[in-house]
Each structure stands twice: as C-alpha cells, then as structure tokens.
Chain A
Amino acid sequence: MKHTLSLTALALTALPAFADESEYMPPVSDPVALAECSECHMAYPAGFLPQRSWSRIMATLEDHFGEDASLDADTSARIETYLTGNAADAGGRSSGLLYGVAATDTPLRISDMPWFRAEHDGEVSAHRLRKAGSISNCAACHRGAERGSFED
C-alpha cells in the first residue's frame, strides 16, 4: 500500500497544472467552523477534502485522531453543512486535488491524499518535520496557511 502510494506520488509530480490550483485555498469562512475547528490545529480549508470525508469526520468526532473533539448536535450539523458545501467536490465540481482517490475511498487526512504525498514526500526535511511536530501542523511550514496561502 505504502509502495503504491509513493508510485502514484512520483507520477503526480510530473503534472504541472496541479501546483497552481493548490497554492491558494480559501480559508474557512464560517465563524462557527472557524472557532470550533481551530482549537487544536488550524481550521483546515474545506476545499482540501471531498464531501464524504467531511461527513465521516463530523460523524466520528468523539474519537477524532485519538482525541475526543465532540460537539453538540446543532453545532456539528451546522459545521458539516458548511464543510460539505465548500468541499473539493461540492456541486459536482471535479478537483485535481482528488486525483488518485478512488470514489470508494474516504480519506480522513489531507496529509494522506496522493497530491499531498506528491508535494511533501521527499520535499520536507526530517529537521523541518521535527520542528513542526506533525505534518498536520501546516502553519509551521506555510506561514500564510491560515490566510489560504500554501506557496511556501
């Protein structure tokens, strides 16, 4: 599995159109989603994951990557509506960011997506990763992440 993914990643690096699309990603604009989903990490932009991923994440908050991040039902429903409404595939849109993700796959991490692996595997030094603490800590390496800029 690991192996297949790295191969896909290598193939993806060759796709130039890809980078432009991924340099800017509109930050979370719903105030409730922004407040509730930025307490433990930056609020990840909705456009990085497909609708089914956000729905799964919102349905499993009580065991969220090893922590309880649960919310009351109303707040959770509102956030899910916002996230799915602005997801990578919202409104039937197709996004290059979903390249290599099977329709039957529900990725829970942006950092597991094939485009992400293509951009980061081998590009990120062990030292930088150690300083960031986790590959999920986008803002440690992308200073503009919370404003939607992932250029550098």
Chain B
Amino acid sequence: MKHVLTLTALLLAQPALAQDTSPQDLIALYGAQSGAPPAPDAGRALFLSDQTGGKPDTPSCTTCHSADPTRAGQARTGKAIAPMAPRVAPERFTDQKFVEKWFGRNCNSVLGRPCTAQEKADIISWLNSL
C-alpha cells in the first residue's frame, strides 16, 4: 500500500515548473542572505519537530510531508504529496517562485511566521543530502 502510494505520487501531474534554479543554487542564495554556512542537522530538526506557534491543525512539516522525505506525504485532504528529497523527486527546488510560495505558506501555517534565509538553507541542504 505504502509502495502504491509512492508510485502514484511520482505520477501525479505536476504544475509546469520554471526550472530556473536548483537545490545547490538555492542553498547558495539563502546561505548568502543569511551569511552563515547551511546546517543540515538544524534543517532536519526543524523539519521533524513539533511546533506551537502556528495553526493548530498543522503542528509540523511532517503533518503533510513524510518524516522520511524520500517517501510521499499526504495533504490533510487525502491528496498525495510527492517526496521532498531531490534525489527521488528531481523536480523539487527547481522553480524559485514555487519554492518561495510554499515556504511562505507552510512556514506561516506551521511556525506562525516566515522562515529565515538560514532556516531555508538548512532545510534544503538536509533534504538534498538524503
């Protein structure tokens, strides 16, 4: 069943992505904005932990994304979400506007505030290491 879900997720129609960036470019961009080197372990901790500052129905990134980012997640509506790790989902982190839109929404839902450039670099560097 889990397996079927992953396959389905990979086949899900993705919106046309701009392909105007890459995980490496984004890590460099956010890293330059924050002035500190990206810390994958901090990104992992942030992604997996439970938060209290955001909306009550979404305490963690893993409310929707799988705690194993090489696997598919599931939106609260039951819709599958493709894995987040670029190794298994190469379309991830290739469209800067898309990435910014979702960091904006999801950090606000989970943390109740925007993610900092440092946090974005940390999270992408962790996901890109998997």
Contact = CB atoms under 8 A, between A and B. Distances in A.
Interface of A: 35, 39-42, 62-63, 66-71, 132-134, 136-137, 140
Contacts of A137: 77-79
A24 B116 CA distance: 46
B77 A134 contact: yes
A140 B79 CA distance: 9
Q: Give the most central of A35, A68, A70, A134: most B CB within 10 Å.
A: A68
B109 A133 contact: no
B25 to A, nearest CB: 22
A66 B79 contact: no
B54 to A, nearest CB: 9
Interface of A is mostly: loop
Q: Which of A35, A40, A134, A137 has the most CB of B within 10 A?
A: A40
B14 to A, nearest CB: 10
A132 B78 contact: yes
Given A132-B78, A137-B77, A140-B78, 8 more contacts: A40-B77, A41-B78, A67-B58, A68-B55, A68-B104, A68-B106, A68-B109, A134-B78
B4 interface: no
Interface string B68-79: 000000111111
A40 B75 contact: yes
Contacts of A136: 77
A133 B104 CA distance: 26
A35 B97 CA distance: 14
A137 B105 CA distance: 21
A66 B78 contact: no
B78 A67 contact: no
B79 A67 contact: no
A67 B74 CA distance: 14
Contacts of B55: 63, 66-68
B35 interface: no
Contact of A69 (B16, B78, B79, B105): B105
A66 B55 CA distance: 6
Contacts of B78: 41, 132-134, 137, 140
Nearest to B13: A38
Given A41-B79, A134-B76, A134-B77, A67 B109 contact: yes
